Amino acid sequence: MIIERAYAHMGSYDVGEWPWSVPCVRELLSDGLRFTAPVTFVVGENGSGKSTLVEALAEGFGLDSWGGSHEWRYASHRTKSVLGERIRFDAAPRGRRMLSSWSARQGFFLRAETALDALDREGLAPDSRSHGEGFLAAFRDKFLRPGLYVLDEPEAALSFSSCLELIGHINQLSAAGAQIICATHSPLLTALPGADIIEVGDHGIRRTSWQDLALVDHWRRYLADPAAYLRHVLD
């Protein structure tokens, strides 16, 4: 493990103002967030705060919110988010060494919206590949050394088989000593054995199992009977 707990402190804040209006952010402020496995999936509906949460964790580790490796600190010239600048970590010994020395730090933030730009900046020439191949290229060529890898919906550009390949890369990376935190909507990715699954929503933050995930239940029901869902959205 590299980081064992993330937390943030605010003397006071307006619960009606973003991001403090997001339940999982408020729970982070009150209780912090513990990491118990090398791979953590953060799952929730659109607007639940999962991307806000993982972006802040990446920023707290010193990764650019625009995406990219630790070698491209603040390459986008964007300031940290109001939450990201307050993130602090309780770290394992390796994590403490990384956090105390920039030259010792290893990590990458991959977000769906800016991945192609970030990968191009890293010299991976995504324009010579399909969108999905560009994502996988990051894992093959850049996600190699033990470090903190934060992913925001990496499945967005991937086919079914590419998602399976991504699971293999994540598993190999964690076995090599890396820690991965991934926000996702994918029932494929979250099925990785041994991964910790955190579900965020109106309830705040809670740990759950793959079989109890709402998204897994919905996919099961939809694949068994698409008409049961489609009749509510089609005339």
DSSP assignment of the chain, as one string? Answer: --EEEEEE--S---TTSTTTTSHHHHHHHHH-EE--SSEEEEE--TTSSHHHHHHHHHHHTT--TT-EEGGGTTTT-PPPPTTGGGEEEEE-HHHHHHHH-GGG--EEEEEGGGHHHHHHHTT--GGGS-HHHHHHHHHHHT--SSSEEEEESGGGG--HHHHHHHHHHHHHHHHTT-EEEEEE--TTGGG-TT-EEEEEETTEEEEE-GGG-HHHHHHHHHHH-HHHHHTTT--
Q: How far is CA 1 from CA 38, 50, 70, 121, 215, in A?
A: 6, 21, 18, 28, 28
CA dihedral 145→149→155→160, nearest 10 degrees, is 30
pLDDT of residue 76: 54
- Tell me, what's the pLDDT at 49? 95
Residue 130: band (very low, low, confident or very high) from pLDDT cuts 50, 70, 90? low
Q: What is the 3-state secondary structure (H, E, C) of 15-50?
A: CCCCCCCCHHHHHHHHHCEECCCCEEEEECCCCCCH
What was the pLDDT predicted at 71? Answer: 72
Q: How confident is the model at residue 135 (pLDDT cuts 50, 70, 90)?
A: confident
pLDDT at 194 over 80: yes
Q: Is domain 3-230 given the CATH code 3.30.160 in the classification?
A: no
Confidence of residue 124 (pLDDT cuts 50, 70, 90): low
Position 73 scores a pLDDT of 57
Peptide bond into 19 cis (omega under 30): yes
- pLDDT at position 157 is 80
Tens digit of each residue's pLDDT (9 = 90 or more) over 19-41: 999 999 999 999 999 999 999 99
pLDDT in the model for residue 85: 92
The average confidence (pLDDT) of the chain is: 89
Q: Span 121-147, mean pLDDT?
A: 72
pLDDT in tens, 58-102: 999 999 888 887 776 555 556 778 999 999 999 999 999 999 988
- Cross-strand pairs, 87: 8
Tokens standing for residue 65 = 């919110």
Q: Which two tokens stand for residue 3?
A: 């980081």
